[in-house]
Amino acid sequence: MTQHRRRLGAWLLAGVVLAVVLTLYQADRTGVSDPAAAPPPATPTAAPSGTATPAPTITPSPSATPSPTPSPGTAEPSPSGPAASCTSPGACGFPDENNTGPRIALERHDTGNMSVKKDGTVIKGWDIRGSLDIYANDVTVIDSRITSTNWWGINLRPGFSGLKVLHTTITAVPGKGPDNGGVNYAVSNMGGSSIEVGWCDISVFGNALSMGQGDLHDNYVHDLVAFRNQGGEWQHTDAVISGGGNKGRLILRHNTLLNSTPVDRGATAAVGLFADTGVVSSVVVDGNWLAGGAYALYGGGPGATGIQVTDNVFSTQYHPAAGAYGPVAAWNAGGAGNVWKGNRMSDGRPVTPEPTG
């Protein structure tokens, strides 16, 4: 009995000692013991993939305040000011194959050279193999495609008005058609009033947009094809051509006008304002991308008046000077109402016409 009591006392004593040791150990872990003996904070490790780790909150000192970061989609201004160079029409906000031409599915129509004689006719969603000769007022061609083997894609005849050509592709078949397949006019205005041509994709035709008056906007004119007539002569090529003598206003605004034809095969201009049938007057050439030709722009000649050429980009994509011989010729700086302002090369250099003799 006495031996049993001694064993029980030994166990009780051992339990008291163990309790004391555990108490001291727990106090050391929770920092209740001497603060100077506490270990430094652990260095954080990378979180496993797919696990979000909250970022620490940092209050910068006045001398270490970070520079503001531009918001997404906002160009940070360069030290020398806004970027002045442009690399291509589409990259710089001008029309190209991505934002011109029809927006809907098309149905094929083998019309041949069709005459339109009913006022107010609307042609929409047609894939035309042929051409349109317009003998009517207020005709609209929209969301269509024309592949011509005639002299023209669409031709408005004298005495008629109100033609609109919108969101349409107009092209031709080189080598097929009259005069060795030479084709002249994607859209021709022989009428006595303005017409509208907008958001069109135009190619092949030697003188693509031909008129003295009209509202030509947001078009993409490209890949004009050089051709010889039956006499063996290279024919002149222009993305836009006007022969002068116009009574109304011709407006060219926000178009891409390209003439990649070599000069020795007839290249004339991206925009050709010529006094062939009378004095050139009342023309606005504003905010276009111009490239190619002997000169990218012919400005109307000595008698031209009311010609406003503003904020155009003269591209170096075919020639270092936009045209083979320069950006502009035949500019009448002293003509009444003539304005030249804000025009530059695609690399940012300002364009100033040379004085005419």
Instruction: Give the per-residue pLDDT at 179.
Output: 78
Weakest-pLDDT range from 5-9, 169-173, 239-243, 344-348: 5-9
The residue type at 9: G
Question: Average pLDDT over the chain, rounded to whole?
Answer: 81
* Distance (Å, whole) CA 198 – CA 181: 26
Instruction: Give the per-residue pLDDT at 77.
Output: 30
Per DSSP, 65 falls in state P
**% the chain with pLDDT above 70:** 76
Residues in the chain, total: 357
pTM: 0.77
Instruction: Give the per-residue pLDDT at 357.
Output: 52
The residue type at 251: I
pLDDT at 112 over 90: yes
pLDDT at 4 over 80: no
Q: With residue 171 as reference, give the H or E element that holds it.
A: strand 169-172
Instruction: Give the per-residue pLDDT at 300.
Output: 96
Averaged pLDDT for residues 192-201: 96
> CA 190 from chain center: how many Å?
30
Weakest-pLDDT range from 4-8, 46-50, 207-211: 46-50
pLDDT band at 1 (very low <50, low <70, confident <90, very high): very low
Burial of 324 (C-beta count, 10 Å sphere; 0-12/13-18/19+): middle
Q: Closest Cα to residue 172, out of 153, 190, 188, 194?
A: 153
Instruction: Give the per-residue pLDDT at 84.
Output: 59
pLDDT band at 231 (very low <50, low <70, confident <90, very high): confident
Segment 17-65, tens digit of pLDDT: 344 334 433 433 333 333 333 333 333 333 333 323 233 322 233 333 3
